[in-house]
Chain A
Amino acid sequence: MADTRKIPFTILRFNPETDTKHRFDTFIVDVLPGMTVLEGLHQIKARHDATLAWRYSCRMGVCGSCGMLINGRATLACNTQILDVSPIAIAIAPLPNFPIIKDLVPDLDSMFQKHREIKPWIIRENSIEQNTAKGEFYQSPEQLVEYLQFSYCIKCGCCMAACPTMATDAQYLGPQPLAQAYRYEADSRDQGFNARKPVLDRDSGLFSCHYGSECSVVCPKGVDPAKAIQLMKRRMLLDLFHLYRKKNAELCPDQGKPSAQDGS
């Protein structure tokens, strides 16, 4: 086919069960315009090496499974077109800052563990009211916008892989959990600030962020974790000086009748 290019894919290979150190394998891939890196990997597996391992599921940038380092940038293989990255050569490695399970499969367990630590769910002071609500907690469109972009996180781990602080401090919470902490803190329905504070305010917590902002640069969903972290810092500092006030959404027994307008 006229538009086909032959592009070498250099892939970092490592199997902890059999290998003592990693190696690089190079495969020539027939690339058509519009072809994604994920499709290139499928071609390698079908034509060259069936043992190549990577993780994927949805193929459309929704599940966050196929995060990997492509020509030095942490991103999703499924929504990255090969020719957009380079028409000459592609280098692929697993996401940094995570242990490797095999080849391009990182062990994201540490991220999910930290994510659980920040209690990523709506917390109300009155749990009975929350669990047996007789109405709805009204939220205005303006209140929704406060946290909406941060709720787009698909937990792919790209931000964690790009974070320079994560690279030096494995215990650092990282941009994904911290951005999700802010996502719930900015939610007018949430009252969990005091429940999350001990986790955020520990060593290697919120204030270990050096504002490198690489997390925001690489996020495939356009989430801005660096912004979330800075906004969370501001709330923590206001709380330190007892200046932090949050007006929460109240239970609205009659549907459609707003009872709270401002969640800031």
Chain B
Amino acid sequence: MRQSTGWTLHLITGLALLILLGTHMIIMHLDDVIGVGNINPDKKPVDWENVTARGKQITMMFFYIIFLGCALYHACFGSRTILLETDFGANNKQLITAIVVILGFGLFIFGTAAAIKFVDISQAGMMVMGG
């Protein structure tokens, strides 16, 4: 990948993280101030009932996957840039790139699977409870 492409994506994901992280903060931690996105208003956003209620929503699943992808790309590209500037990184560019790519994709697949599975588990749980 060209350095300009990587760098531009790093900027774009950085900006996306501002929005996504802002949304996360509003939903999870600013419920007393703003109070949006809380499905069960009598519970705190971090309570299990609200977590499962959000998790079973398809829109939230996509939100988590996009959030995860942006955060992982931003973190992995940034870490790679820092590592390549060390003596070790400068002499082992391909190794560093391979580790970062494998780690990034691995975590993305794991996180995506968890987000998808959570929808299933939530739906199964709702079915067990007669929801």
Residues of A at the B interface (CB closer than 8 Å) are 165, 168-172, 201-208, 233, 236-237, 239-240
Contact = CB atoms under 8 A, between A and B. Distances in A.
A201 B84 contact: no
A206 B7 CA distance: 10
B4 A237 contact: yes
Contact of A203 (B3, B5, B8, B86): B3
B81 interface: yes
Interface in B1-54: 2-8
Contact of B4 (A165, A204, A206): A206
Nearest to B11: A237
A206 B3 contact: yes
B85 interface: yes
Contacts of A237: 4, 8
B90 interface: yes
Contacts of A169: 84-85, 90
8 contacts: A168-B86, A169-B84, A171-B90, A201-B3, A205-B3, A207-B4, A208-B81, A233-B4
B75 to A, nearest CB: 18
Given A169-B85, A237-B8, A240-B8, A207 B90 contact: no
Given A237-B8, A240-B5, 7 more contacts: A165-B85, A168-B86, A207-B3, A207-B6, A207-B7, A233-B4, A236-B4
A148 B40 CA distance: 65
A24 B86 CA distance: 28
B85 A201 contact: no
Contact of B2 (A170, A172, A201, A208): A201
Contacts of A236: 4
Contacts of B81: 208
B94 to A, nearest CB: 10
A235 to B, nearest CB: 10
Interface of B: 2-8, 81, 84-86, 90, 93
A177 to B, nearest CB: 15
Contacts of B4: 201, 206-207, 233, 236-237, 239-240
Contacts of A203: 3, 84, 93
A152 B5 CA distance: 31
A133 to B, nearest CB: 33
Contacts of B85: 165, 168-169, 172, 208
A171 B90 CA distance: 8
Contacts of B84: 169, 203-204
A170 B90 contact: yes
A46 B90 CA distance: 43
A129 B85 CA distance: 43
B82 to A, nearest CB: 9
A193 to B, nearest CB: 13
Contacts of B7: 207
Contacts of B3: 201-203, 205-208
B49 to A, nearest CB: 45
- 10 nearest A-B pairs in the assembled complex, by CB-CB distance: A207-B7, A168-B85, A169-B85, A207-B3, A201-B2, A236-B4, A201-B4, A201-B3, A240-B4, A205-B3
Contacts of A207: 3-4, 6-7
Which of B3, B84, B93 has the most chain A CB atoms closer than 10 A to its own CB? B3
A56 B70 CA distance: 52
Nearest to A206: B3
Contacts of B8: 237, 240
B100 to A, nearest CB: 13
A112 to B, nearest CB: 20
